[in-house]
Structure 1
Amino acid sequence: MKAGEVIAETIEKQLAHVRERRAGVESRGQMVITTSGTLVTLQLAFVTVVAPDRATVSTIPRVFLGLSLVAFLGAAVFGVLTNLPRAWSEMDPESLKPLVAQQRLWDAVEEKARRQVAKAQLAVLTASMSLVRKMSRRLTAAIVSEVIGMAMLAIAILLIMLKR
């Protein structure tokens, strides 16, 4: 196997890895949205059952309940931002037209074509990695926000239960 073939194969593998990573980040972003919504629903159900009269819940637990709602909302927003529709870099058909249109390139040795394709794939890989990093930062913010929301909710529940 020639060095160019090894390089082209490596770029293809990295591109496949980035695409898999993107799918995983998108999936986890959707999961954060779902779990945040579920936790808010459970929180409201808990408050309705345990403290149907707002006057029975003191100020401090109410503050923690409010903070947890804000954190869950933040988690959901970051989850949505993680999955915002965006234009993914793929090989631009316009950049491939010259490779197909020119007879001399069409008839060239395989290595020349591999190099041109590898250049295009490397550009796609670079752009895709940048987008996946941005998505990962948003996902991290979503997860951190959800954890903060769960902590605030747990504190509020503990304070309400201790008062009873």
Structure 2
Amino acid sequence: MRRATALISIPAAVLIAACQTPDDTTPPDPPQTVLACQGKFVTGPQTIAGLDLSKFMQRTRLPPGVSVAAGRSALSPEHPGLVDLYLDLCLPDTASMNDLLPVATALANDLKADELGSRTASLAIACVCAHLPGRTEVRDEDFQQHPWNGTPSRDAEYLIWTRSDS
């Protein structure tokens, strides 16, 4: 009986110690994408997980001052056979949603004309700039249904995006 009590009390003591708050709590480091935008990590298509998306971004010309912090593609759970694409971009220090929209729209136009675009279900593009208080992102959850070719106008294309700037 003593042995059973001892075996139970050891894990309980470890669990209690693990739940205690340390005296010197340090704030968490910023995400690696933010550090990339601060020049602490490499940026560019090589930071993308997914060969097709990486190759697409190598062929795509980004505006001056804009670089890729990270990216990935995943099989779309809602659209079998298609992929969901995610890009995190570094924009200049004063960037806002108004600066992200034209960059994202130009990328959507390029993607629609690319073979990868024919296999894309959704596209999410975010600015992970350190000066912004939260994640600033635009999403097209139904990429196949939108022309992304400049029609009827660029301003109309801006309205396609679902925006989040939290």
Shorter-chain TM-score category? under 0.3
TM-score by length of 2: 0.22
The structure with more strand, counted as a fraction of residues: 2
The structure with more helix, counted as a fraction of residues: 1
Which protein has greater RCO, CA pairs closer than 8 Å, 6+ apart?
Answer: 1
